[in-house]
Amino acid sequence: MGPQHHHHGHGHHRKQEEPRVFLRERRKRKSSGVVWALVILCTVLAIGVIVTGGTVFAVYLLYKPKMPYLLVSDARLESLAYDQSGTIRELRLALTILAENTNSKTDATFSRVNLGVGFRGAEVALLRAADFSVARRSSVPLRYQVYSAGRQLNGEGMESMYGALRAGVVPLDLFGKARTSWKVGIFASLRFWTRINCRFLFFYPGNGTAMPIDCRSRSP
Ligand SMILES: *[C@@H]1O[C@H](CO)[C@@H](O)[C@H](O)[C@H]1NC(C)=O
């Protein structure tokens, strides 16, 4: 009764399996070289990534690079002569655009400044600027005296202009882009497109000022 009684209640009497022993000493020794090479490679890669990341972070903290941008500081619609045939006989617009560089340690350059003024999808004027640089922590004003004559509006544009003049609020869009570049120490030269897209609402006929908006360009 002794042993049988001892197992009573366990349900199954599991037979213990013999441990399997594989003898793969030779294969293991051959592959261990490859494994070690991979381990070393991965370690080197990981250290490289950490060192690179640390350097980039340190440079970032040191220089705190900021995107240069364009900012419209003043816009005034000085005159707008429009005739019933749908032609803008004359449009005069004074625009002051600041090229801002808020970096504390590096100058920035603006190039390929390419802006446009539009009314309801119709291009009224193009604005350009030669390449220029902006010293650290400063801005350069671009003053445009926009003049446009003879622009013919389509049917939709004519209707919009009619309604706008009657309401005394003329919408004009400023859009376009510029290329900015600036150096981060000796490490890198950063280049970005900066894009602007704003709609100004001018009190016209009226005093010609625009409703205040924050019109500045952004980099992706
Ligand atoms: C221009 O006219 C608008 C609307 O009449 C008014 O709100 C604004 O204060 C005026 N601005 C100036 C500088 O007179």
Write the pLDDT tens digit of every residue in 49-96. Answer: 999 998 878 877 777 778 999 999 999 999 999 988 889 999 999 999
Q: With a 6 A CB cut-off, is 144 part of the ligand 1 pocket?
A: no
At residue 65, the pLDDT reads 79
pTM to 2 decimals?
A: 0.73
Q: What are the CA-CA distances from residue 19 to residues 14, 16, 22, 27, 117 (Å)?
A: 15, 9, 10, 21, 84
- Which of the listed residues 169, 200, 203 should we mutate to test ligand 1's pocket, taking the one with most ligand atoms within 8 A of CB? 203
For atom 14 of ligand 1, the residue with the nearest CA is 207
Domain extents in the chain: 1-63, 69-203
Count of Cβ atoms closer than 10 Å to residue 70 Cβ: 26
> Over the chain, what is the mean pLDDT?
86
Find out whether the beta carbon of 203 lies less than 6 Å from any atom of ligand 1. Answer: yes
Say what the pLDDT of residue 174 is: 96
- Domain spanning 69-203 has what CATH number? 2.60.40
Amino acid at residue number 16: Q
